[in-house]
Structure 1
Amino acid sequence: MYPQVLTNVRVTDKKAAQDDVDVQAAVKKVTEELGDIGRILVRESGTESVVHVMVETESDGFEL
């Protein structure tokens, strides 16, 4: 089990937040930085105006 951080981001439009060019670029950058040692998951809440952002990596010392 890898250490992980989960952050909930309040948004007015979940779909627009996920489709935002800057958000997609940030997710891509983190994905590239993590490489094979972790992952990032961004998903919409089913019940709230929230986007869940979870980063998981094999090392506590990884800095974004």
Structure 2
Amino acid sequence: MFNPNLQLNDHAREVRYAMTPPAQPTGHANVKVLYVHRPAGRESRKLDDATESFVDETRMGAG
């Protein structure tokens, strides 16, 4: 059962231990480290050379 008064009361209580806020990010994050299962690249796919070339050439954001 949801009781908003209980939730608000929890926020009004004294903090017994305070968590340290995370460090501020500096620069750009490396998005490859955000994956739980990192991309395995071509080894994980069953594509012939022509199809792989087509995919590389038509990939969105490729430049």
| TM-score, length basis structure 2 | 0.28
Higher helix proportion (structure 1 or 2): 2
Superposition TM-score, scaled by structure 1 size = 0.28
Structure with max Cα Rg? 2
Q: Larger RCO: Structure 1 or Structure 2 (Cα < 8 Å, ≥ 6 residues apart)?
A: 1
More strand as a share of residues: 1
